[in-house]
Structure 1
Amino acid sequence: MGVVQDEELQEEFDVFGINLNEQLIDKYRVADEWLAFSKARKDIPISLENLDLFDREKLAKKTQRTPQTPLNKRTQQKVYNINNVSEGVDISDAENLYNTYGGTPSSKGTAAQKRQLTPDNPTIKRFQNSTRSPAVPFSPASFSPMGATPSKKYSSRTNAGDVITSIGNVDNAKWSGSGNKCTIKLHDPMENMSPEEKDSVKDLCQDFKYMFQKLTDKAAVLNEMIDEMATQLQEKHSIEEFSHVALPVQEEVTLVGRICCDSLGKMNAKSVILEGSRDTSAGRSVPLDLSDLKQYSLFPGQIVAMDGTNTSGQKFVVKKLYEGVVQSLPSCSNDKDQISSNDMTVLIAAGPFSTSDNLSFEPLADLVKHIRKDKPDVVILMGPFVDLKNDLIENGKGISPLDDIFKTKLKEISDVASNDCQVIVLPSYRDVHHDYVYPQPPFFHQSKDSRMKAKTDYPNVHFMPDPCVVDINNVIFGLTSSDVMFQLGAEEISFNPPGASDRMARLAEHLLTQQNFYPLYPSPEDVNIDYEVFEYYARMPCTPHVLVLPSDLKQFTKDIQGCCCINPGRLARGQAGGTFSRVQVRGGAIVSQQSILSSITAQVLRI
């Protein structure tokens, strides 16, 4: 057999459009591979069948291997000059430059990065420096006049003023204000405390300091919440006593505790456990078998009671579930059976107040026009005002300091406020210029001087914490700017017959049955809860007449346990316009612990 020349091989492969040089075929390597392959199979002869087997088992595996990057090869450092500096410095280069000037190097492979996260709880990017401004790549674009270009998508909308949802009789509703000054009073959880007790509690509305929470104090608060709910469940359902969660018993018993997940992932029906209190169960927990329940709705942090059996002490088979207790509606403040209330109109809007692609605040400007036109008695504005999720803020392309942006827009809001049109302002944990903690102190809380200056600079504007309970003309409003509805929906598991449950109403009802504004535990990584103040400021003293829960979920107005629950939506949704709500409360007698829904008309409409 003659020797085949390289030129002949090239000609044959050219027929199939294959370049031998590009394919990097080494004839000597192929010969060595065939020799080893043949010897391993007792000197099998060369044939088409054996060559096909050789190709599948040896050559194909060799070519599929991913080439390794040389260990000693270093990536060339990019050099910036006048022609390419406008493109911006890479984040890693910016961090290295920051570290060169004494910054703390970013650690690689931290425990937080290795932690298992679920897609429902993505980590929020909040990279800031010591001046509370976002640390961003160095670029002349950071100092260019950007952010004032109006959003084309917002300006081209055609559905402004459309009503999304409503409750009550809207035919005879009058949305203009009454012209009378409303009385506004913030519920103070320390109102009935002794001076000694007040000294041991942090005041959220004063010079509030956080990040001093001890694990023992946090555990005590969480345990006390179980004990308080256990007492109410026991009274409502006439339960004789609660058993130890991990005690093996043959007869049916009743347990009480907090719903938890047995791992770091999203909870499912097979991973639910019940954590008991210190008093009844010494803090022990037990897995739950929910297969016998015909209907349930559970989320991590929910405090429940349940009937069932635990024959082995290893798993509790649930037969009946008690999902919290709804408190009574507000009692009259004058210790009588009823109290009078005047007509009033309330406008409610939640941020962001600018579209995500700019900082021109067009939706806020349109809302201010609406306020000037209708002059509602009270305007409730909930953050974020300077949204950390805004594209320009996140990328560091704003032209002004963050505090200045907020104060400028707050001045525009204050200009429309008056004695007969008062404004309530709540912060949000998405406000990049404010304290990143929940419960969240009001704006300008840092010192007595700052609070006095805010009253002078912004008259008729009331700065409230998040969350809060507010008495407006004897009508109790529960307010929170956190998107607890969305976060509960991401963690909740439920099993309900088709059409048996309204998901939005069910999520809102969880807050009423758990008696606090944020019953989810543990919270997502972007919500930092201080449980020392949570115990006092996040608990609901009663079921409010009106509960406002702004969320990215679908807007609604619903009657839930006699409470008017409203999701006004966001004033801006991405680059498009969003929604806001308006509420009319007709004057008359407010009966103690009775619903006033018959006197309420509410709408959610597009900006």
Structure 2
Amino acid sequence: MASVTAEDIKSELDTFNIAFNNDTVDKMLEQCLCRRLKGDEIVFEWFAFSSSKDQLPLTLDNLDQFEHEVSTSVQNMITGSQKRALTTPEHPQSKRGVARLPSPSLLLSPASFSPSATPSQKYGMRGGRGEVVSSFGTVQGPRWTGKGQSSVRVEMLEGGENSLISSYKYMFQRLRDVRDVLTEKIEELGEELRSHFNIEEFSAVSLPVQNSITVLGQVCCDSNGKLNAQSVLLEAGQEQGGRQVPVDLSELKEFSLFPGQVVVMEGMNPSGETFVATKLYEVSLPVMVVMACGPYTPSESLTYDPLIDLITIINKDRPDVCILLGPFVDSKHEQIEKNQVTETFETIFKRCVDSIVEGTKGSGCRLVFVPSQRDVHHHYIYPQPPFNLSSLSKDDSARVTLASDPCTLLISNVTFGLTSTDILFHMGAEEIMDLKRITSSDGTGTERFTRIMKHMLTQRSYYPLYPPAEEVNMDYDKFQQFSQMNLTPDILIVPSELRYFIKDVIGCVCVNPGRLTKGQVGGTYGRLLIQPNPVPVEGKRVSPCIAGQVVKI
């Protein structure tokens, strides 16, 4: 055994934050030599002894008491072991019978176990055999049979040192090594969280400050019992001081914590003794976005039945954001074209908007209103300014966003490009192609949409067509300022009379949700699940769109 030095003992005492002096270290070194112990072993024994005595301080008198109790316990063990005579029988017999299995097929049969093992009657009488109790993905089409292919490879993802492929010696870890592993975990996860939430730096959790600070640490309990809201401690990493500080969670609206969890919190520690958390940084859950485009009434009636159905869906599914694009009062509606309306267009529009705002209040979703040049009551110009809804209350205005056509929005750090003008239809009518150089698949409708969307993205314009369609009243003075794509959006919403679609075009998720009504029948709307705050992987852009659907109303 390697000799123990005073420096070894001092280092281990520092690990446990145990105060010491040279006399106590010399005394512990003497005990190590007498009992043939290592430095970490003697310190671990002292730590256990001290904890059982209400954190007894390290003094010479207490070390004498510690030595006396250790020697007494060792003597009792020796005395107890002598009371039992150890003899070897003349004819030792194995307590386990040797069973010869005639074939591998009988390895799990009842006969392969002890004679008392009988088949379970309850298992044999079980019901629902072969019943599917949980499923994921498409479950109707696949055939649940394999082919026994010997060419299928199974291998460890991590090779070499990163894969556990053989046994190893255990029970030899040092407390210092445990501390280093936990510290490394805090620092690695902390760096990822810092980058994800754009945090400049972390402060020491035990630092007495009057201002709000952001801290990093690992959740632990102040005792050996179960963690609860009053027993939470935050243990900082070595770079932040390594201290444990109680955490007051009363200011948090909601939280989910477990011992060992690495967290980033924001709050204050006025006294340096208790950290009052006001915010818990967590990776955001997916955001659901619903989008629909008018008209919102059937062509033969001005009743907003399709819109009422959409409001019912919003209240049931509770999306985070609902984007509603015009027309809300359609200039192409039969009754409006024939002057069969007895109310002003503004009155109809106000009643429509009030129904949407009031009807979705219980869902808590954010509403985005985008006008259309087909809105008979609004400015007939492109780019088109947003609606003016001055009659909304303060609370309603807080969850309503009035956008222009076109516009670019930022929703949870995800970029949305929006336009209610049917650019797909207009460009599709004007596009020319050299059919000799286009494959049959490129000539299909879906590939046609891809080409048009690619034109929009590469031309960096919400309306690159010139001259514009006759129904588009273009103001080129404002067009240059408000209708350009200064960046490629993550998601581009382009409702059209043409067939609905969702597709990825050169890194942008393009969506045509269709129209909520098609003549006298119901149409479609779209919904997306997006991951907020998308983080680039190796400097490459990552699509925030997790899933998307176009659904019939």
Question: TM-score under structure 1 normalisation?
Answer: 0.42
Higher relative contact order (CA 8 A, sep 6+): 1
When Rg is computed on C-alpha atoms for both structures, the one with the higher figure is 2
Question: TM-score under structure 2 normalisation?
Answer: 0.46
